[in-house]
Amino acid sequence: MAEQSRIAVMASGKGSNLAAILKRQAGGDAPFRVELVLTNRGDAGALAIARAAQVPKVCFLDPAAYDDREAYDAACAEVITEEGCDWVVLAGYMRILSAGFVRRFSGRVINIHPALLPAFPGAHGVEDALAHGVKVSGCTVHLVDEVLDNGPILAQAVVPVEDDDDAETLRARIQQQEHRLYPQVLTRLVSCGFDLDGRRVVWRGGTR
């Protein structure tokens, strides 16, 4: 097996997408390995998930210990660099990254968003989609650039919106697809790669 790409996962919450990625890794043939899990919350469930999976470095950095967002992001970037990570994977990371961080890891930061971008960016994608009355929603895996939820789209999955849905039921249906799609895209990203044609992601090696 070829050498695995080293992954840093940044998370703020329960860590369900991290768990899905680690489950894919545990299958034994993943082309990546999670080397670092970094959180901005000391009570993040992702910390326990990472420790249980014996991720080599599990780190909580408190934003309150830094003067501003740029200083905090610079500290995070140093940890990621020290661990030699090839990719930065945002998994429920609820902070907007500074431009300096994004530039430092340009083209190597990915995120998953619980809506079909470019519709409904921001922290309330599920609620905004419901309020707008859409009949389908879903999730989007995208590259991260300096504009919130704006980077080129790597993959999307669609779910129906039922008449009796509320934010909780729709979010649960979307998360089922997130947990399937995110490890799949990460595997493809590492093993195949892609080219950019403007904003369009063109996967190497065809559509599979």
pLDDT tens for residues 172-196?
999 999 999 999 999 999 999 999 9
Report whether the peptide linkage leading into residue 118 is cis, meaning its omega lies within 30 degrees of zero: yes
- Asked if the structure places residue 66 within a domain, the reply is yes
* Catalytic residue annotation: 113
Question: CA-CA distances (angstroms) from residue 147 to 103, 137, 151?
Answer: 12, 22, 7
Bridging pattern class, strands 57-60 and 87-90? unpaired
- Provide the CATH number for the domain around residue 97: 3.40.50.170
What pLDDT does residue 205 have?
79
> What percent of the chain shows pLDDT beyond 70?
98
Residue 199 sits in the same domain as residue 130? yes
Residue 75 sits in the same domain as residue 120? no
Residue 126 sits in the same domain as residue 72? no
The token pair that represents 103 in the structure block: 């530039």
> From the CB of residue 60, how many other CB atoms can be counted at a distance below 10 Å?
14
Residue 119 sits in the same domain as residue 199? yes
Q: 100-137 burial, b for 16+ CB within 10 Å, e for fewer? A: ebbebbeebbbbbbbbbbeebbeeebbbbbbeeebeeb
- Asked if the structure places residue 147 within a domain, the reply is no
Specify the number of domains making up the chain.
2
Residue 14 sits in the same domain as residue 96? yes
Q: pLDDT at residue 3 above 90?
A: no
- Asked if the structure places residue 148 within a domain, the reply is no
Residue 130 sits in the same domain as residue 101? no
pLDDT, tens digit, 9 for 90 and up, residues 23-67 = 999 998 999 999 999 999 999 999 999 999 999 999 999 999 999
CB of 29 within 8 A of CB of 37? no
Alpha helices by DSSP H, the chain = 16-26, 45-52, 69-82, 99-104, 125-132, 167-191
Domain that holds residue 132: 114-140+154-208
What pLDDT does residue 1 have?
44
What pLDDT does residue 206 have?
56
- Asked if the structure places residue 145 within a domain, the reply is no
- Asked if the structure places residue 75 within a domain, the reply is yes
The token pair that represents 60 in the structure block: 């909580």
Residue 5 sits in the same domain as residue 102? yes
pLDDT, tens digit, 9 for 90 and up, residues 58-113 = 999 999 999 999 999 999 999 999 999 999 999 999 999 999 999 999 999 999 99
What pLDDT does residue 5 have?
96
